[in-house]
Chain A
């Protein structure tokens, strides 16, 4: 179905090849998962399938890419639109119209599908993606999961034979990701569609894959094979696979179900050891942030409905809950970007909304969901210098922090040319230059791969032991499990659960990390904890 023959790709202005001498064959009806580190060339591989690389991006592509027998050399993306459906990471950025039904029809209109056929296919697609009830709703009013489903539906309606998805669930909360994945599974199993899928969140998708393609980066050859074999040696692996590696299980489990069936022995071994050490919440830290009956909203629609919260100095607190539960609003209120409608919020005893920007940044810093919003200089070095001046810190403070977070990045690069993770670290360094005792992060792991996440977790843990208090809003249960002393679950603007992370997440089906699901009822949360326990036990 898809055939790469000796494909090499080099972008303009770069002297090293992203892909070199790639040979790959994806047969009809297969779900093929593409994995690899950030910047390894996964997206390039996917975009080469429908000719966006190199027709749209520029650069030199040698070798041949054939899709259903058509060569992408002679067919630009628009001519391949009836064969390949391409879905990107951010559905909102790719919508052309503004109503569900018309978005589904858009591709077919461009391809000149006859009106009666088009009408029929739109109805079929609405049922397939389960959106018939909201067919005439504006796209912006849909939830993130629904939007991604519409984006998939909008390419499906044209009846492509291949579906290419670039990180379709990376930006979604767990329930929304489930919606999208169950749709994908239906496409593969019921319709026999050929799917090529790239994803960072391996724990979500790896059990559905027929084959895994590991893109090692730096132009090294691809590693292709059964999911189990490839993951055994991959630098990126979901926690359940890591647990399997640690326990020496064979074949490696890919899903919680597989692992749980093999985990009997491990559970018994852990049973006789002592419980994992509870990360001590910092002893009698003073209250650094306090909200009482906090109500805040946008244009009369309340996003927070009476939140009472105390954050003590030295704590790491994870804020969880679905999109729109009020997590971001709470963070914005704490940093004074949003004025509470009623109730009180104090940081360090002061109301943040009343403070001057310069005074706020000395007390509390926020890394927003879109770290790029904080950056506007032309080079990384200039950005760091500006941050030092803004914060009144010694020159080189921010650059020093950045270098410790991600060593060896060229300071002359433009911030937009950094990878997602590097950009996040730059924003973090900029905020940290003012040494705020309270640090807030909104969805810090969006778009980060496993090594990137591990580095971020280590950096945050180090900051915490240096006395910073950290509050992070996240969908990432693994990060929360590895890092947070305390987890707060929010729903509909209210706090529904607040307590030590271990107690809150172990029992929850949505927020339990994979290791907890495998080992429940034993309260181990992360592979590192299990490893430490086993080591202690000898």
Chain B
């Protein structure tokens, strides 16, 4: 059912990851959170490519550990004291009257540490979901998939990305050249000596690039200012709505109106703006990533996880937030567990990524029949 190896649309991976992150945001149950981490990790391992960014997941996991550690330290130092079993007693500092309510040091209870671990783990899991999307989706393809109205922004980002390595190279070249003139690279004057040629070079390059882009037809569009402004206003309003909406959705304590409704409204506005803007540009797209059944299925699996946990949380279903005071052993509640497990389906639903172009030459040199066998 997967068909030939290909890259899944990066947007689908991001929607799936946001689904899992939303699910994680609704629970502090460490068992469920670890399950989310496992699900995301399994999908990453089975469907990532050989590109450099494919190793991002491990990095995000480590970052998660740091987040948990920070959360524990802060909880122990400044957290409100929870009554219970005292683990250690830190030296406490008595603060003056005006700082009443702020605590420094004192007793650290198991309950307080566990509460900090649960909350840290939740944050770490959400981070890991972002990491999963980063590991699975090609950032350049994602930029290519931006709608026509945002095309210029996309190009600017692409150019900046390919420009920065040149800038680094030119800084090291100029610094080396300064040595040739018997200078040391220290101090403000040294900075000016390096910055001037580098900036001049960068400016020259960008003028040259702009000329080349112009000569190749960049910016051909039907000159109409009206739709352009409408599109800009709609898109901006829409993006704002989407931002606030996503915050509302991920933050369980904000009023419900701020969540899904605003997200949907923002999405609709942005889509309208982009549609209007897309009609102005005359450009077309080379080999766009298709959005087919596999993309729908992957998105759906993330959505199932998110919707299950959001509904269970809203209806007050048990097991999502195990109590830490008094201590309570966390359990696997049936429905949320199944919901999170739905997120693992992309490991089979998504097509395999194509093997890297940098395959060993021997593989390329095998007979056509062998290659056909491999593909089929």
Write the residues of chain A forming the contact surface with B, with a CB cutoff of 8 angstroms.
50, 52, 55-56, 76-79, 81-82, 84-86, 88, 90, 92-98, 101-102, 105-115, 118-119, 122, 136-137, 140, 154-155, 158, 332, 335-337, 357-358, 360-361, 365-366, 368, 370, 372-376, 387, 390-391, 416, 430-431, 434
Find A337's partner among B159, B179, B218, B219 (CB 8 Å cutoff): B179
| 27 contacts across the A-B interface (CB closer than 8 A) | A56-B211, A78-B214, A78-B216, A82-B217, A85-B215, A96-B155, A96-B159, A97-B162, A98-B140, A101-B287, A108-B284, A109-B285, A110-B218, A110-B283, A111-B217, A111-B220, A111-B282, A112-B283, A115-B288, A337-B180, A357-B178, A357-B179, A357-B183, A360-B180, A361-B181, A365-B180, A368-B173
Check A115–B284 contact: CB distance below 8 A.
yes
Quick check: B180 and A431 within 8 Å, CB to CB? Answer: yes
Say whether B193 faces chain A, with CB atoms less than 8 Å apart: yes
Interface of chain B: mostly helix, strand, loop or mixed: helix
Name the residue on A nearest B212 (C-beta): A94
* CB-based contact A109/B286 at 8 Å: yes
How distant is B185 from chain A, measured CB to nearest CB, in Å?
Answer: 9
Measured in the bound complex, the distance between the Cα atoms of B165 and A112 in whole Å is 30
| C-alpha spacing A101/B357, complex, angstroms | 13
How many angstroms from the CA of A202 to the CA of B166 in the assembled complex? 31
Residue numbers in B under 8 Å from A140 (CB-CB): 165
- Shortest Cβ distance from A386 into B: residue: B181
Cβ contact within 8 Å between B179 and A360: yes
- Contact at B183–A86, with CB atoms within 8 Å? no
Q: Decide: A109 and B283 in contact? CB cutoff 8 A.
A: yes
A430 and B181 within 8 A (CB)? yes
How far is B140's CA from A109's CA once the two chains are assembled, in angstroms?
16
Residues of B near any A CB (own CB < 8 A): 140, 155, 158-159, 161-162, 165-166, 173-174, 176-184, 193, 196-197, 200-201, 204-205, 208-220, 281-288, 357
- Which residues of chain B are within 8 angstroms of A387 by Cβ–Cβ distance? 181
Extra A-B contacts (8), CB below 8 Å, given A105-B287, A368-B177: A52-B214, A78-B215, A96-B216, A110-B283, A112-B284, A373-B173, A373-B174, A375-B197
Considering only CB atoms, which chain A residue lies closest to B284 in the complex? A112
* Set of chain A residues within 8 Å of B210, measured between Cβ atoms: 56
A38 to chain B, nearest CB (A): 17
On whether the beta carbons of A96 and B212 are closer than 8 Å, the reply is: yes
Docked complex Cα distance between A76 and B221 (Å) = 12
Cβ B180 vs Cβ A76 within 8 A = no
Question: CA–CA, A372 to B178, complex, Å?
Answer: 11
CB-CB under 8 A from B201, the residues of chain A are 372
Contacts of B174 in A (CB 8 A): 373
Which single member of B193, B216, B288 contacts A107 (CB below 8 Å)? B216
| Distance from B291 Cβ to chain A, minimum over Cβ atoms (Å) | 14
The complex places the Cα of A88 from the Cα of B207 at a distance, in Å, of: 13
Chain A nearest CB from B216 CB (Å) reads: 4
Residues of A within 8 A of B208 (CB): 88, 90, 93-94
A199 to B166, CA, bound (A): 27
Inter-subunit contact B217/A390 (CB<8 Å): no
- Our pick among A101, A111, A357, A416 for the contact of B283 (Cβ within 8 Å) is A111
**What's the nearest-Cβ distance from chain B to residue A118, in Å?**
5
- Looking at B158, B173, B178, B218, the one whose CB has the most chain A CB atoms below 10 A away is B218
**Measured CA separation A454–B201 after assembly (Å):** 28
User: Whole-angstrom distance between the alpha carbons of A335 and B178 in the complex?
Assistant: 12
Give every chain A residue within 8 A of B197 (Cβ-Cβ): 372-373, 375-376
- Bound-state Cα–Cα, A92 to B284, Å: 24
Closest to A94 in B: B212
Task: List 8 A-B pairs, minimum CB-CB distance, nearest first.
Answer: A81-B217, A105-B286, A94-B212, A373-B177, A112-B282, A110-B217, A107-B216, A361-B182
Measured CB to CB, the closest approach of chain B to A162, in angstroms, equals 12
Residue of chain B at shortest CB distance from A93:
B208
In the bound complex, what is the Cα–Cα distance between A390 and B174 (angstroms)?
17
Chain A residue with the shortest CB-CB distance to B218: A110
Q: Out of A112, A136, A154, A366, which one reaches B216, CB within 8 Å?
A: A154
Among B182, B216, B288, the residue within 8 A (CB) of A110 is B216
Q: In the complex, how many angstroms separate the beta carbon of A460 from the nearest chain B beta carbon?
A: 18
Check B214 against A77 for contact (C-beta < 8 Å). Answer: yes
Report the separation of the CA atoms of residues A52 and B211 in the bound assembly, to the nearest whole angstrom. 7
Closest to B177 in A: A373
A107: chain B residues at CB < 8 Å are: 216-217
Query: Shortest CB–CB separation between residue A324 and chain B, in angstroms?
Result: 15
Question: Cβ of B166: which chain A residues have Cβ within 8 Å of it?
Answer: 92
Task: From the candidates B180, B205, B282, B284, name the one contacting A118 in the complex (CB within 8 A).
Answer: B284
Chain A neighbourhood of B286, CB < 8 A: 101-102, 105-106, 108-109, 115, 118-119, 122
Contacts of B211 in A (CB 8 A): 52, 56, 77, 88
CB-CB under 8 A from B218, the residues of chain A are 78, 96, 110
CB B169 to nearest CB in A, in angstroms, measures 10
Could you tell me the distance between the alpha carbons of A138 and B50 in the complex, rounded to whole angstroms?
15
Question: Do residues A136 and B182 form an inter-chain contact, with CB atoms below 8 A?
Answer: no
